[in-house]
A and B are shown apart, each in its own frame.
Chain A
Amino acid sequence: MARVLADDVSLIFAGIEESNYKITTNVVRLYTNPCIGCAYFILSLSGGVEYSIKLFDTSGRLINVIQGISLDRSELIKWNLKDKNGTRVSGGVYLYRLETEKVVNTGKIILLE
């Protein structure tokens, strides 16, 4: 007998489009927002850059930190919607702050239950 159960199957394409844009220092975007189940940060840094993504609730309390070193291409960084104790956070509004040595980006996360 064999049995497989599944949820949240995704195949995400984070591609490159050519567009006319002013040069900015935005290096992170959230996908999806609002989000359900998990949230992906789409990073667009050059390779080898140390970064941290700090996650806060609206009272300013730090609830989790994701750290890493960037690849030399765009990449998806997953937040499983858990705090640093491994507890899934409840629905609501959260804030993120991406920091590298040279860049700080902030944004809002809307989490649906």
Chain B
Amino acid sequence: MKQCMILLAIVGVVSAQELITNGAFEQEWSIGWSGDSSYWYPILGDTIDRAADFHPDPDYEVRVKKYDHDYAKVYQTVTVPLIDYLTFHVYAKFYAIEFNPLAPQWAAASIVLSYLNNNDSLLGETRICYKTPHCPWTNSPTFHMIEVTDTINWSDYSFNIDDELVNLPGINPSDIAKITVALFDTTDGC
């Protein structure tokens, strides 16, 4: 008798899930995102806005602009599953200027990934950033900068989170339960 065997196996299959809500900003930025500023001065030009003409493509983008001092940000926190299989991507453009290069004032435009534990305590950060010469940010075991030099063009920035954590040896990857993604501008008097 011929035996037929149907082979079934428990195998791993890949599933993909977008964790960011409204990451393309095709809806109002307040959907999925929150805004915050320590010192909001619209009369100087502080702005969080969304438009279709920041980039030549027909879809929408968001802009965060900060003058004078303190910070402004648009951010979203997501709960993350296994860090090993997370990929971050953003299409972005950065600009910062010190209006008086002789003064020790600085500015930085950035996209920040903040790694949080279950208690929402900050474990460390990755910052894709363009910063002016007096900006005091420096790398550490829990703080890693991906520095941008181009302030003219839009560029894609993409990395696997587990690869990026190699640059943050002060973070235990298994402690990460959430990630906050922020468009973050900060200035110190310029």
Chain A interfacial positions (CB closer than 8 Å to B):
1-23, 29, 31-32, 36-38, 40, 42, 44, 73-76, 78, 80, 113
Of B8, B12, B81, B185, the residue contacting A22 (CB under 8 A) is B8
Given A14-B85, A23-B7: A5 in contact with B14 (beta carbons within 8 A) = no
Distance to closest chain B CB from A23 (angstroms): 6
Instruction: Decide: B20 and A9 in contact? CB cutoff 8 A.
Output: yes
Instruction: Decide: A17 and B89 in contact? CB cutoff 8 A.
Output: no
CA distance A97 to B23 in the complex (A): 29
CA distance A42 to B16 in the complex (A): 8
Instruction: Decide: A11 and B61 in contact? CB cutoff 8 A.
Output: no
Instruction: Decide: A17 and B55 in contact? CB cutoff 8 A.
Output: no
Instruction: Decide: B179 and A2 in contact? CB cutoff 8 A.
Output: no
Residue of A nearest to B108 (CB): A2
| Contacts across chains A and B counted by CB atoms under 8 Å | 189
Whether B144 is near chain A, meaning CB under 8 Å from some CB there, is no
Given A2-B186, A15-B85: A21 in contact with B16 (beta carbons within 8 A) = no
Number of B residues with CB within 8 Å of any CB on chain A: 68
CA distance A29 to B64 in the complex (A): 35
Whether B95 is near chain A, meaning CB under 8 Å from some CB there, is yes
Instruction: Decide: B13 and A23 in contact? CB cutoff 8 A.
Output: no
Residues of chain A lying within 8 A (CB to CB) of residue B11: 18-19, 21, 23
Residues of chain B lying within 8 A (CB to CB) of residue A73: 84-85
Of B7, B17, B88, the residue contacting A15 (CB under 8 A) is B17
Chain B 55-72 per-residue mask, 1 if CB under 8 angstroms from chain A, else 0: 101111111111100000
CA distance A74 to B168 in the complex (A): 23
CA distance A18 to B24 in the complex (A): 31
Given A10-B89, A16-B14, A42-B14: A3 in contact with B59 (beta carbons within 8 A) = no
